Every structure is written in structure tokens, then in C-alpha cells.
Chain A
Amino acid sequence: MIPELGHFALWLALAVGLVQAIVPTVGYARRNLRWMSIAGAAAQVQFLLVVVSYLCLSEAFHQNDFSVAYVAANSHSALPLIYRLSAVWGAHEGSLLLWLLMLSGWAFAVSIFNRRLPADISSLVLAALGAVSVGFLLFMLLTSNPFERAFPVPLEGRDLNPLLQDPGLIIHPPMLYMGYVGFSVAFAFAIAALVTGRMDSAWARWARPWTTTAWLFLTMGITLGSWWAYNELGWGGWWFWDPVENASFMPWLVGTALIHSLAVTEKRGLLQSWTLLLSIVAFSLSLLGTFLVRSGVLVSVHAFATDPARGVFILAFLGVVVGGGLLLYAIRAPKLVRQGEMQLASREGLLLFNNVFLVVTAAMVLFGTLFPLLMDALDLGKYSVGPPYFNRMFFLLMAPLAVLVGFAGVVSWKRANLIESFKPLRVLALIAVVLGVALPFLTQGKGSVAASAGAVLSVWVLVTSVQEVWRRVRAKPSLAAGLRSVPRGAWGMTLAHIGLGVWTMGVAFASTFNVEKDVRLGSGQSADIGRYEFRFDGVTHVEGPNFKSDTGHVVVSYRGREIATLNPEKRLYPSQGSVMTEAAVDHNPLRDLYVAMGEPIDKNDANGDWALRLYYKPMMRLVWFGGVLMFFGGILAATDRRYRLAQRAAASIPDGAAAA
């Protein structure tokens, strides 16, 4: 019964979605306020229905209801409850349901928080979100129903992919989806602006917190994904430029550009059409990511079971949603643009450069990702594009961006003298160069051009970000008053920029000074990396709830003093016959020590010699810590009180135009 209830709730949600998309739009065309105001209620009802459906599927997992094909394929009675509940999004159908839950959740939030916006904008935003939800619901109901029953009912489930049985995977997809789907709100705002022709500073102020919120979730999602890959795949890597990673990174890059162009639109009323285009593109790339994962057009470790029919459907959906948005843009945007004056030597000018670099980087990633497909489609042969291309291009494009960040605080809006602006930064630039060049020698005892270059950029970003706050504080009589006077949005920006600096440092060091060693060790033997000694104390056999594990014991000493015991595991999941490597890591801010189990040298003797992989990765933590700082920076920026004021101000404007 429960699965049928969930299935039925989805059909109802589809009906409500149609109402949410059509009625307010017709209402807008007829200037009928009552029809427009249905959007909010519809969004709330739809959210409720999707929640019910989602809970039904969770309950099916909870009860081990293997008569539901999706549950049978992705769960097992011995699977711990927490993984049974996260298995809901462990494969194609369920992750679509999660996508939909997020989408209707965002629409719900819009309907609550944007009640005070002018009725035409808020109802059109919800109508656009409703239209997107209709597409997704149709996709689910017609090609990927998670509630489908299977006969005969299997006695036992096939278990969740062991790769996904990890705490990182419990929160990584929801965070990522929140980000992906969150850009649908920016998209919907862009549609509303194009339809109404209202595109001004007020619009930017309404769209900004939504965009920032989507961005911060995406940031966290990507960070968690990287952290998960590092711990779970046992390759010691944290970013592989895999097509699906790229699919999440492209909307992030464009979303970051959007956040900055929104700032220009809000403060100076410029770059409107560019901002609209970015809003549409950010969401398009999120949909593209979904298409790439689901369709199997690219080879990826992330690819779910592929089905051409689904691919065609998503492609059509992509064409309608994005094509519709871009067509609207082509028709309406030229009429919206006011020719404002734009000086390149100004803060908005620098932000334009920032946008160019970010968007070109996204284009570079897109090109690299699609190049194999392009060549294949044109019958020019099979290619693969690997990390060397991405890494080189990425560095070339990101280095100038990091330099630009330093100027963010000192260059004024409208018109600035760049030479004058640079003067207060001269000392900081000197500090960055000296400290940056010295850091590799100070911490690693050896030099490297790449690490020094990264460290210079990192220190530059860090000191200029701190200086920007300091400049504001210094202008006030006391420290406390000064700190209070800094708006929350500025704290958010500073924190996110510090995150960028920290991240840069981590990447520079972890990729340059990474030491990797493959060793064969018997019990009691040890291997060295620098001053670290790894002693292997053999393995013990451990029975987990749904796996068997050979748990290794590795004692790490630094200059003869024991500092850590690491327990890397080799797990066998019998229900899927798959072997997983659980790496063990000892970490502090300055370095990670990473041990992954290879295979026993003699297959039949787990107590004999083992192949082990040892890594020393300096400053690895900073890579993720940088992402976490950006996340919190995003939270601060999104909750700035001027957005709440903006809503109140909007509420005081009579809706005369719309009601007339």
C-alpha cells in the first residue's frame, strides 16, 4: 500500500505542478491577481505531496520491502538503517525523487520568504519552478518510477553499492543537489525578469540571497564529494576531472560568476543582460550535469545504469527548459538593457574581468569534458582528455583571478585610479611574494616553483582579504564599534575569499609535495617516508554487519616517537561480491598520512605480507577547509539583513501595476 501511496502522491504533485505553472502565467497575461496568487499555495501543496512520496519510499527501505524493485536493487536486510535511508538516493530513480524533493522545497521556500515581493515577480518565479517540476515529474513517472513493484518478490535485496556505504555519501548528494537545484530559483527569477521586463537593482537584491544559498550548498557538496573520494576510493586523490565532477564544477564556476555579476547589477544597475544569461546558464549546466550522469554519453566512474530512452527524455527536457529560457532571453533581453556607463578601471570593471575568467574556465572545462564526445560524433576517432589538460588550463585561468581578488576591497565603484588603489597594497604584495616563496622551504625544507607560485597567490588573497576588513574597522573609533560596523555581507565575502586563499595553499602543497610509496610489508616490518616511519603490525579479521574486513594495523612514528595508529581496511561485501578499500588517514592542518591496503601477496594467507600504499600529503586538509570557509562565507552573505530590508521595502510598494 505504502509504495502505491507514494506513487499516487507523485501523480497528484504533477497535477498541482501543472496548476502552479499555468494558472499564474495566464493570470499574469490577464492581469488577474487572484489567479497569480494561486502560485504560492500550489507550491506549498506540491512540496507536501513530494514529501509524502519521499517518506513512502524511505518507509519501503525501512521495512525492507523488496517487492519494490528499486528497494530490492539497492538495499539489503543486513544494511544498517542509516544506509538504508540514504540508499533512497543511491541510484537513478531515488536520486531523481531527491532532486524533485529539493526542487519543490526551494519553491516552497520561495513561496514563504518572497510573499512580500511584487505579485507579478513572485508568481512568475513560482510558475517557472512549477514548469521545471512538471518536466521532472513526467520524467520520473514515465521512465523512472521508483515505486515499481517486482514479481516474484526477491527474498533478499541486492544491497547498496558498497562505494556508497560511507558517511560522506549520506550528506554529499543532498548538498550537491541542493546546490544544483537551487540554481533553478535564479533561473526562475531570470525568467520572471524577462517576462515582466523588470530588471533593476531591486530585482538583483531579491535574486542574490537565493543564488548565494544555492552556491553555498553546491560548494559544500563538491567539497564533501572530494573528501569522500579521497577516503573511499583509496587512490589518495581528491579531484580527478571526471566528467561528473566536471558537471558539478561547471555550475559552480558559473554560479560564482553570477554571484559577482549580481553584485554589479545590484550596486550599479549594470551588466543586466549578462546577469540574466548567467542565471540561465548556471541552471542549464546543472541540468546538463544530470543529463551527463544519466545518459551514459560519457565514460565516467559515476555513471548510473544507463538507458537511452531516459537520455532522450532528459535531452528533450533540457531543450525545452533551457531552449525556452534562452529564446526568451534572445527576444526580451535587448529591450531590457539600459546603456549604462561602464569604466574598466573600477570595481565593476574588475568584477567583469572576474566573470570573464570564471566563465572561460567553465567553458574550458566544458570543452575538455565534451571533446571526446565531439570527436566521436564527428567520426574523428576516440579521445580522452585527462588531468594534464585541465590542470594546466585551470592554473593559467585561476592565477589571474586570485590576483584580482586582492583588489576587491580597495578599488572603488564607478571610477577608480588603479595605480592609486594599488599603493596601499604594495606592502601586502611584498609580504605575499616573500612569504609565499619562503613557505615551501620553511615547511617542507625544499623549494618548488609551482608550490611557491601557489603560496604567493594564497598569501596575497589572505592578507588582502584581512586588510579589507581591517580598513573598515580602522575607520571607526573603537575595535568593537568597527567590527560591528562591517556588514554581514562583507564578512561573508571576506570569509569566502579567505577560503579561496586557504584552498589555493592546500592545492599548491598537496599536489607538489605529495609523496607516494608502494611497499610490501610483513608483520613487524616498516617503511619510511621522510622522517615518518610506518610499521605494519599485521591484520585482524573483523566481521561487519554486511561485510568482512581485513583490518590492518599500522603504527606511525615521527623521529622515533609514536604518533598514530592507522587501521586501513580491505572489505569484502559478499552480497555484491565486491571488494572495497577503506583508507586510514592521520591528519593535522600541516599534513595527512594516508595508508591504503593493497592485496595480500599470497592470496590465501591474510597473515602474510601485504602490499600497502603510503602517502604523505602536506596541507591536504586545507583543500577542504577552504571549501568549508567558502560555505560559511556564503551563509553570512546570504543572511545579510539588507535582503530582509529589501523585502520589506518591496512590500511597501503597492502592486498597482500588476493589479490594474
Chain B
Amino acid sequence: MRYVRYTAPVVILLLLIFLFYRGLALDPREVPSPLVGKAAPAFELPLLEPEGQSLTPKALGGRPVLVNFFASWCAGCQVEHPLLMELSKQGVEIVGMDYKDEPADVRRWLQRHGNPYRQVAIDRVGQAGLDWGVYGVPETYVLGPDGTILFKQIGPVTPQAWERDIRPLLVGVR
């Protein structure tokens, strides 16, 4: 019994090391999406501008587009925001899905930081986010012209992710 007490720390350490070893093989940012390769889930959400109109997946089709789930309360969204602004300037089409947020808040947020979005749909209760399999904002989906999800970026879009994962997809289908 006495020896158990003195051996416990070493056992705990071994368990931790095993955990970390597993952890090294995992990417904490990577969440596999079962939706990649499938058609974008249906939704119908009100648009921020013009008020009264709504957005459906049909309206997204025709060209490749980034569907970016974001929110005014989300810190990671501020991180990726300058890059989105830059991309929109380069002509990349980005549709914003304002996740679990108030229109007034997001309007202020866009005013403060700038608006990179072609359209912003309000997913107030997060239903579309649920259907799309959003774990947490920001998440960005790359949609092909036929409305298929080609790629899902978890967390902020980084310049590396843009160069490595996203841009080739857009170039490929254009």
C-alpha cells in the first residue's frame, strides 16, 4: 500500500506521456467534416441587407464561393477578418453566415471592422450552423459552382490555409 503512494506519480506521468504522444499525431484545429463532397445543406435565412429578403443555397450557385460562419462576439473572427477583407478586394466571393448573433450587433461589428461579404445571412438561432456541422465560429466552407462543399476550414482562415487549401480549389473550378 505504501509503495502505491510513491509509484502513483510515475504512473500518472506515463499516462500523460501517452496522451501527449497521441496528441502529437492530432491536429487540434482539424475536425473532419462528413459534408465534404456533399451538397450544401438546405437553409433559408433572412439577409442583413436588404432587409426582408432571404438567402437559400440556390442563390450561392454558379460560381465558387466561400461561406464563412462568423459572429460579432467571436474573437477568432477578428483574427481572420483582415485576410477576408483582402480576399474580397481581390474579387473572392464570400458569403457571411452570422451565427447566433443579433442583427444590430453584427451591423455595428461590420461597421467597425469593414464588410468583406457579398451577402450576410442571419442565422440567429444557429439552425443552419447545426445543419452545416459548425463546431464553433469561425468556420469557412468552400463551395463549388454546383453547390458541393469542397473544403471546410475550422478556425480562422490563415494565409497558409488560403494558399495551400482554398485557393487551389477556386482556381481549379474556374
Q: Which A residues are closer than 8 A to B by beta carbons? A: 235, 273, 277, 280-281, 284, 291, 295-299, 308, 311-312, 315, 318-319, 322-323, 326-327, 329-330, 333-334, 370, 372-374, 376-377, 382, 384, 518, 520, 579, 598-599, 601, 603, 611
Kindly identify which residue among B2, B3, B16, B23 contacts A376, using a CB–CB cutoff of 8 Å. B23
Q: Complex: how many Å from CA A315 to CA B19?
A: 11
Instruction: Name the residue among B13, B21, B82 with the largest chain A CB count within 10 angstroms.
Output: B13
A274 → chain B closest CB, angstroms: 10
B38 → chain A closest CB, angstroms: 20
For A334, the chain B residues whose CB sits under 8 A away are 2-3, 6
For B58, the chain A residues whose CB sits under 8 A away are none
Q: Mark B9-41, 1 if CB is under 8 A from A, else 0.
A: 110011011011111111011010000000000
| A377 touching B113 in the complex, CB below 8 Å, given contacts A326-B10, A326-B13, A330-B10 | no
Q: B162 on the interface (CB 8 Å rule)?
A: no
Closest to A284 in B: B13
For B164, the chain A residues whose CB sits under 8 A away are none
Q: Mark B64-82, 1 if CB is under 8 A from A, else 0.
A: 0000000000010000001
Q: B111 on the interface (CB 8 Å rule)?
A: yes
Q: B112 on the interface (CB 8 Å rule)?
A: yes
B155 → chain A closest CB, angstroms: 8
Q: B63 on the interface (CB 8 Å rule)?
A: no
Q: Which B residues are closer than 8 A to A by beta carbons? A: 2-3, 6-7, 9-10, 13-14, 16-17, 19-26, 28-29, 31, 75, 82, 108, 111-114, 135-136, 155
Closest to B159 in A: A577
User: Contact at B113–A327, with CB atoms within 8 Å?
Assistant: no
For A318, the chain B residues whose CB sits under 8 A away are 17, 20
A230 → chain B closest CB, angstroms: 16
Chain A at the B interface: SS class: helix
Q: Complex: how many Å from CA A603 to CA B114?
A: 7
Kindly identify which residue among B13, B25, B112 contacts A322, using a CB–CB cutoff of 8 Å. B13
User: Contact at A329–B112, with CB atoms within 8 Å?
Assistant: no
For A601, the chain B residues whose CB sits under 8 A away are 111-112
For B114, the chain A residues whose CB sits under 8 A away are 599, 603
A148 → chain B closest CB, angstroms: 22
12 more CB-based (< 8 A) A-B contacts, given A295-B23, A308-B24, A330-B10 = A291-B20, A295-B24, A297-B28, A311-B20, A370-B16, A373-B19, A376-B23, A376-B26, A376-B28, A377-B23, A382-B31, A518-B108
User: Contact at B13–A323, with CB atoms within 8 Å?
Assistant: yes
For B7, the chain A residues whose CB sits under 8 A away are 330
| A611 touching B112 in the complex, CB below 8 Å, given contacts A298-B28, A319-B17, A579-B82 | yes
A557 → chain B closest CB, angstroms: 24
Q: Complex: how many Å from CA A601 to CA B108?
A: 10
User: Contact at B17–A598, with CB atoms within 8 Å?
Assistant: no
User: Contact at B9–A277, with CB atoms within 8 Å?
Assistant: yes
Q: Complex: how many Å from CA A100 to CA B121?
A: 53
List 11 interface pairs A-B (beta carbons < 8 Å), by A numbering. A284-B13, A298-B28, A312-B21, A318-B20, A323-B14, A334-B2, A377-B22, A382-B135, A518-B112, A611-B111, A611-B113
User: Contact at B24–A377, with CB atoms within 8 Å?
Assistant: no
Kindly identify which residue among B13, B26, B82 contacts A297, using a CB–CB cutoff of 8 Å. B26
For B136, the chain A residues whose CB sits under 8 A away are 384
Instruction: Name the residue among A273, A298, A327, A599 with the largest chain B CB count within 10 angstroms.
Output: A599
Closest to B28 in A: A299
User: Contact at A370–B113, with CB atoms within 8 Å?
Assistant: no
User: Contact at A329–B26, with CB atoms within 8 Å?
Assistant: no
For A377, the chain B residues whose CB sits under 8 A away are 19, 22-23, 26
For A319, the chain B residues whose CB sits under 8 A away are 13, 17
A494 → chain B closest CB, angstroms: 33
B151 → chain A closest CB, angstroms: 18
User: Contact at B24–A327, with CB atoms within 8 Å?
Assistant: no
Q: Complex: how many Å from CA A429 to CA B112?
A: 49
| A315 touching B6 in the complex, CB below 8 Å, given contacts A382-B31, A518-B112 | no
A462 → chain B closest CB, angstroms: 36
B144 → chain A closest CB, angstroms: 26
User: Contact at B3–A326, with CB atoms within 8 Å?
Assistant: no
Q: Complex: how many Å from CA A323 to CA B13?
A: 7
Q: Complex: how many Å from CA A90 to CA B7?
A: 39
| A598 touching B13 in the complex, CB below 8 Å, given contacts A334-B2, A384-B136 | no
